[in-house]
Chain A
Amino acid sequence: MLEVKNLKVRVEEREILKGISLSVKPGEVHAIMGPNGSGKSTFAGVLAGREGYEITGGSVTYLGQDLLELDPEVRAREGIFLAFQYPVEIPGVSNMYFLRAALNAVRKHRGEEELDAVEFIALVKERMKKLKMDDAMLKRAVNQGFSGGEKKRNEIFQMAVLEPKLAILDETDSGLDIDALKLVADGVNSLRSPDRSMIVVTHYQRLLDYIVPDYVHVLAHGRIVKSGDKHLALELEKKGYAWVEQLAASGEMVTV
């Protein structure tokens, strides 16, 4: 599904990613953990096509295509979904209009019929029920006046509607209390399927109690310094990021 090879990225003259390699197969959930400033969000942003990054080396292949050549909207239509760490407020545009425009763009790209208003409402209502969201939110402007938890739930709701092939969750747990976290995690888990892959970017292990990954990678100073299975997250929780920093400093690459 996704093949990242020795990816190097600069932001304003500073090298943030110093050679990342990662292989994600259909249905797999990969967690990327790391301290602040390790390059986690840069990695997520590069995959989704955010502006302001200079790719200085390596490659990213997604479903056989050179991902880095594609505009962000084309990536989205091809099935990549970034759940934002900071979902953007867009006053004046309703959630309903926004999501229908997005869904129809994706459907058109896939050669499917666009949905009319009635079909669309039926679809979103069903998905909203699953996430225990209030219909009234559809009439509100995109993310405007939403609480932190509502914004994150809205991201997962969009994901449920757009049905991506590869979802990248960027710090989806940040700012959530435990109840909100469980709701979001339930939503994500209900979307797990053998042909949908996920990359879960997080600072904390607690999200991984609820969204259990197949693989865990630890990022530090722009490199993956350690990869393993779900147990690595627990070990990291116990030993702290200082342990990883030491590994990074020693240049040692450990696979559990």
Chain B
Amino acid sequence: MSVAADRTTAPRYLEAFEAARREEPAWLAERRRLAIERFSLLGFPTTKDEEYKYTNLARIARGEWRPGSGGSLQPDALAAATYEGLEGPRIVFVDGRFDPERSTLSELPEGLEATSLAALLATAPDALEGHLTRYADFEGRALTALNTAFFEDGAFIRVAEKAVIAEPLQVVFVATGDAGTVTWPRVLIHAGRQSQVQVIETYISAAEGAHWTNSVTEIVGEDAARVEHFQVQQESVEAFHTGRVEMLEERSGYISTISLVLGAALTRNDVRITLDDEGCECALDGLVVISGKQHVDHHTLIDHAKAHCNSHQLYKGVLDGSSRGVFNGKIIVRQDAQKTDAIQNNKNLLLSTKAEIDTKPQLEIDANDVRCTHGATIGQLDKDALFYLQARGIGAGEARSLLVYAFAADLLERITVEPLKRHLERLLMRSLGRDSAAQEVSE
């Protein structure tokens, strides 16, 4: 028994698992059984676990969670997940279950499949076998094990070989948000050879309760596929959000993922990618804008398994109040991964003396002909710049917002979906008490 785990509530999960009746393929039932067994052994990680040193899951571990009811939502419940000017297909889940009413999937472009996992498992599960739950391992990972054991539904996105999907696909997870409820969102994105797709995953709460979201997204890109993935988390500031994004790239692929976190009281995101063949490229980015007592922890892993791959990472944090940020970026360069080029940057802006950031790069390099660079900065608003703006007539509050915006500008530039970028610019300005003219700042 390790002190780095809390098994207090584990029996309850086992009971709930046993009680659940599911009609599903034997391979999935087996995976789920392995997962719950694994979780029973692991329990929830505590701060004694090095991986959770700064992020205390005690309130999740001790909580008595029940599934979200999926109850009725206000007509405008999706407003926060609507990006002005962005049309295109959308697949919506309420408390983790597919909501056909709010989804718009009738005119999917050729080559794009977007369906409910539950529906597919009931009718044609073969497309999922060998993929679903195969990338996000749960060996030492309690939270992924729990999601694997309990997810009821989620999104399956399949892009056919050589299909180039012009409009971004939106996946929206709305939690009704009652205190004490938990949802298990699950996403599988499978991009065929030489295909291209953009997927925006958005997490919102319909109410301000202390609910918990524990999500897992698996992305696999076959040879020369190009996947741009965006994850926007704007849940209630009372909520808990634990998320895993696990990605695998095959030869000459490209995957980018941007984690945008504005919501939840506590967020822990594990973002991991394996560059499994030569000529791959990936970009893992993040922008965290938090205040009050919010806590956001990003743990990233880039596994350079083969030669001639490039990875870029830029994580930025804007922390106000007594909020706390954690960034832990691990890069593994394996023996075969010669000519690896890996760049990692973590930059933080602390707007208050009480805000805090812990940042740590971790490099494990077993090849000898590689380039790996990393850097971390922590700073405050530049007083000279503030005075310069004020001395031209710009009010103190607006000057502050402008400088924060400027800090985040290069990250926002990486958001290739223009309506999403504008939405975030507005959110950023609003979270800083200003909501006008954001889009023109950098023009």
Chain A 84-99 interface 0/1 with B at a Cβ cutoff of 8 Å (1 = within): 1001111111101111
In the assembled complex, the Cα of A122 lies from the Cα of B390 at a distance in Å of: 24
B405 touches A77 (CB 8 A): no
B-side contacts of A51, CB under 8 Å: 383, 387
Residues of A within 8 A of B383 (CB): 51
At the interface, yes or no: B402 with Cβ under 8 Å from chain A? yes
A148 at interface by CB-CB < 8 Å: no
B26 at the interface (CB under 8 A from A): no
Chain A residues within 8 Å of B389, by CB: 90, 98, 102
- Among B388, B403, B405, B441, the residue within 8 A (CB) of A84 is B388
Q: Taking the complex as formed, is A31 at the interface, i.e. its CB lies under 8 A from any CB of chain B?
A: no
Is B410 among interface residues, defined by CB-CB distance under 8 A? yes
Expressed in whole angstroms, the Cα–Cα distance for A76 and B399 within the complex equals 14
Q: Please encode chain B, from 377 to 415, with 1 for each CB lying within 8 Å of some chain A CB and 0 for all others.
A: 000001111011111111110110011011111100000
Residues of A within 8 A of B388 (CB): 84, 87-88, 90
Chain A residues within 8 Å of B394, by CB: 73, 98, 101-102, 105
Please give, as numbers and ranges, the residues of chain A lying within 8 Å of B403 by CB-CB distance.
Answer: 90, 93
User: Please, which residue of chain A has its CB at the minimum distance from the CB of B438?
Assistant: A97
Closest CB-CB distance, B441 to chain A, in whole Å? 5
Alpha-carbon separation in the docked complex, A90 to B405 (Å) = 11
**How far is A72 from B410 in the complex, measured between Cα atoms in Å?**
29
A50 beta carbon closer than 8 Å to chain B: yes
* Docked CA distance A163–B393 (Å): 12
Are A88 and B384 also in contact (CB < 8 A) when A93-B402, A105-B395 are?
Answer: yes
| B440 at the A interface (CB under 8 A) | yes
When C-beta atoms are compared, the residue in chain B nearest to A105 turns out to be B393
Which residues on the B side are within 8 Å of A76 (C-beta)? 390-393
Convert B132-144 into 0s and 1s, putting 1 for each residue whose CB lies closer than 8 angstroms to a CB of A: 0000000000000
Chain B residues near A97 (CB-CB < 8 A): 437, 440-443
Instruction: Please report the C-alpha to C-alpha distance between residue A89 and residue B406 in the assembled complex, in whole angstroms.
Output: 11
How far does the alpha carbon of A81 sit from the alpha carbon of B443 in the complex, in Å? 25
Cβ A73 vs Cβ B406 within 8 A: no
A48 to B440, CA, bound (A): 28
Q: Which residue of B lies closest to A79 (CB)?
A: B393
Complex Cα distance A158/B384, Å?
17
Tell me the complex Cα distance, A88–B402, Å: 14
CA distance A73 to B116 in the complex (A): 55
Q: Are B390 and A88 in contact (CB under 8 A)?
A: no
Separation of A106 and B389 alpha carbons in the complex (Å) = 12
A82 contacts B by Cβ under 8 Å: yes
- Provide the residues of chain B in CB contact with A98, threshold 8 Å: 389, 392, 394, 402
B residues near A77, Cβ cutoff 8 Å = 393
Q: Quick check: is A109 within 8 A (CB to CB) of the other chain? A: yes
Could you say which residues of chain A place their CB within 8 Å of the CB of B437? 97, 101
Residues of A within 8 A of B442 (CB): 92-94, 97
Residue of A at shortest CB range from B410?
Answer: A92
Taking CB atoms and an 8 Å cut-off, the chain A residues in 104-162 that contact chain B are 105-106, 109, 117, 139, 141, 158, 162
Known: A88-B382, A162-B392. A93 touches B406 (CB 8 A): yes
User: Number of A residues whose C-beta is below 8 Å from B?
Assistant: 36
Are B393 and A93 in touch, CB under 8 angstroms?
A: no
CB distance from B198 to the nearest CB of A (A): 25
Q: How far is the CA of A91 from the CA of B403 in the complex (A)?
A: 9
Quick check: is A71 within 8 A (CB to CB) of the other chain?
yes
B405 touches A92 (CB 8 A): yes
Assess A101 versus B390: contact at CB under 8 Å? Given A92-B442, A93-B441.
no
A49 touches B (CB below 8 Å): yes
Tell me which residues across on chain B come within 8 A of A91, comparing CB atoms. Answer: 406, 409
Complex CA gap A96/B440 in Å reads: 9
User: Which of A75, A87, A102 counts the most chain B CB atoms within 10 A?
Assistant: A102
Residue from B392, B405, B441 having most chain A Cβ neighbours under 10 A: B392
Q: Which of chain B's residues has its CB closest to A87's CB?
A: B388
Chain B residues with CB under 8 A of A90 = 382, 385, 388-389, 403, 406
Docked-complex contact A106 and B390, CB < 8 angstroms: no
- Chain B residue nearest to A96 (CB atoms) is B443
**Interchain CB contact under 8 A, A101 and B402:** yes
Answer whether A71 and B443 are a contact pair too, CB < 8 Å, given A82-B391, A90-B385: no
Cβ–Cβ contact B393 & A73, under 8 A: yes
Contacts of B410 in A (CB 8 A): 92
B347 to chain A, nearest CB (A): 12
Of A72, A106, A139, most buried by chain B (CB within 10 Å of CB) is A72
Complex CA gap A94/B440 in Å reads: 9
Q: State A76–B396 Cα separation when bound (angstroms).
A: 12
Contact, CB under 8 Å: A102 / B441 = no
B402–chain A nearest beta-carbon distance, Å: 6
Question: Taking the nearest CB of chain B, how far is it from the CB of A245, in angstroms?
Answer: 31
* A11→B394 CA distance, assembly (Å): 26
Least distance between B404 CB and chain A CB atoms (Å): 10
Distance (whole angstroms) from the CB of B246 to the closest CB of chain A = 33
Best-surrounded residue of A48, A89, A105, A109 (most CB of chain B within 10 A): A105
Known contacts A88-B384, A92-B406, A73 near B443 by CB under 8 Å: no
Give the distance in Å from the alpha carbon of A88 to the alpha carbon of B381 in the complex.
13
A92 to B408, CA, bound (A): 8
Most buried by A among B393, B395, B406: B393
Chain A residues whose C-beta falls within 8 Å of the C-beta of B440 in the assembled complex? 97, 117
Alpha-carbon separation in the docked complex, A109 to B391 (Å):
14
- Residues of A at the B interface (CB closer than 8 Å) are 48-51, 71-73, 75-77, 81-82, 84, 87-94, 96-99, 101-103, 105-106, 109, 117, 139, 141, 158, 162
**What are 14 of the A-B contact pairs (CB < 8 Å)?**
A48-B391, A49-B390, A50-B387, A71-B390, A72-B390, A72-B391, A73-B391, A84-B391, A90-B385, A93-B403, A97-B437, A98-B389, A105-B395, A106-B393
Interface contacts beyond A88-B387, A93-B441: sample of 12 additional A-B pairs, CB < 8 Å, sorted by A: A73-B390, A73-B394, A76-B392, A81-B391, A92-B407, A92-B409, A93-B406, A94-B442, A97-B437, A97-B441, A97-B442, A103-B393
- Sort A-B residue pairs by CB-CB distance and give the 4 closest, nearest first: A92-B406, A92-B409, A102-B392, A76-B393
